[in-house]
Structure 1
Amino acid sequence: MRKLIESTFVTLDGVISDPHVWGPPYWDEEHNAYAAGLLFAADALLLGRETYEGFAEVWPSQPGDYADRINAMPKHVASTTLKEAGAWNGTLIEGDVATAVAELKRQPGKNILKFGTGRLDHTLIGNRLVDEFHFWIFPAVAGGGDRLLDGLDTTHLDLLGTTRFKSGIVVHTYGPK
């Protein structure tokens, strides 16, 4: 069975919004290599509407192997407001999201990579569908913005590993308890 892996950038004060504002000073070769490892170990993306739309604006114009990979991958998009997601290799998930994601995980293939956190996580975590969380903790304080996993019920996780970068980023990898 395929694994669903979530990769999310977060500040020391728990903020996930606007990583393009607080993240760039820390993006370096170690960061790029780790991100590429996650991406190239996957053959599909699972995205919520906001992440899908934001990525679709940026990635098609980016150069390089990472961009080529992310642009070519199929994207499964969970949204209650989009009517279609056919652009940028997107497929809108129809019907029950938990059932659809469980079916994606049963299909043969590599990992399914999910970027960002938001409303979709309530469904995924509530149905125990996320196999690994990669929380990239940046040594920055945003002071305000959307918070990591805001509004979820108490959820306990097991620490699977920690990766430290010279830039100060620490990636904590967790799995369901």
Structure 2
Amino acid sequence: MSRITVQCHVTLDGLIESPPEALLPYMSDEGRQATLELALAVDALLLGRVTWERLAPVWREQSGPFAERLNAMPKYVVTSTLTAFDAWPHSRGVRYADVAALREQHDLLVYGCGALARDLLRDELLDEMHLNMTPVVAGRGRRLFDEPSDLLALDLVSTHPYPTGALRLVLRPSPGPEAHGSAGGS
């Protein structure tokens, strides 16, 4: 079975949209290499409309191994409003209802932790999250999880510290209390 992996940057206080000084000083060659390896390990990108609109003008003009990978790979844009996708080669629009079928066919990587990532998590389509956490409290901005309606349990798969002080957390949605053992089993 194929999988969906989300990768995003987050501050210590859970912000996914923060000023550049909350991210840039903490980037490292080792972190960039891990990001490239993750992109090389998947078949395609799955992006929300807003993320696609932000990434397209930046990455289509870049060079180097990471930019070459992003520009060459298929990109599925989850949208109900966009109709033209020529701003970034190999992009095409899909409806959210199509994502489960895409997941059956491709290993997908999602950048950003906005509404698309939260919807995938809610609908049990998200397999793994790679959070690159910087040791910064930014204070204001959009949070990774804005007041979830229920307890959200994630299993920590691995951690990796970078020399800059950033930390990569790899998490998977927890299968629930019954998978961890419950009272009254057989």
Q: Partner residue of 2:100?
A: 102
Partner SS, residue 61 of structure 1: coil
Residues 55-94 of structure 1, C-alpha deviation per residue, up to 9 Å, x if partnerless?
0010011110110000111111112332333431211113
Root mean square deviation of aligned Cα: 1.5
Partner SS, residue 158 of structure 2: strand
Contact in 2 for aligned 1:86/1:92 (Cα 8 Å): no
Paired positions, count: 172
CA distance in 1, matches of 2:5, 2:19: 19
CA distance in 1, matches of 2:27, 2:118: 29
Partner SS, residue 43 of structure 2: strand
| Worse overlay, 147-156 or 125-134 | 147-156
Please, what TM-score do these two structures have when normalized by structure 2?
A: 0.86
Letter in 1 for 2:156: L
Question: For the structure 1 residues 19 and 67, does the alpha-carbon distance in structure 2 shift closer, same or farther, using more than 3 Å as the test?
Answer: farther
| Worse overlay, 144-153 or 49-58 | 144-153
Question: For the structure 1 residues 112 and 168, does the alpha-carbon distance in structure 2 shift closer, same or farther, using more than 3 Å as the test?
Answer: same
Question: For the structure 1 residues 124 and 39, does the alpha-carbon distance in structure 2 shift closer, same or farther, using more than 3 Å as the test?
Answer: same
Partner SS, residue 16 of structure 2: coil
CA distance in 1, matches of 2:18, 2:94: 26
- The structure with the largest alpha-carbon Rg is 2
Q: Partner residue of 1:116?
A: 112
Question: For the structure 1 residues 144 and 121, does the alpha-carbon distance in structure 2 shift closer, same or farther, using more than 3 Å as the test?
Answer: same
Q: Partner residue of 1:91?
A: 92
TM-superposed CA distance for 1:151, in Å, is: 4.1
TM-superposed CA distance for 1:163, in Å, is: 1.1
Percent identity reads 38
Contact in 1 for aligned 2:5/2:127 (Cα 8 Å): yes
The alignment status of 1:169 with 2:162, answered yes or no, reads: no
Residues 115-152 of structure 1, C-alpha deviation per residue, up to 9 Å, x if partnerless?
00111123211210010011111012222111112243
List runs of 5+ in structure 2 lacking aligned partners: 175-186
Contact in 2 for aligned 1:44/1:76 (Cα 8 Å): yes
Question: For the structure 1 residues 101 and 19, does the alpha-carbon distance in structure 2 shift closer, same or farther, using more than 3 Å as the test?
Answer: farther
CA distance in 2, matches of 1:83, 1:26: 37
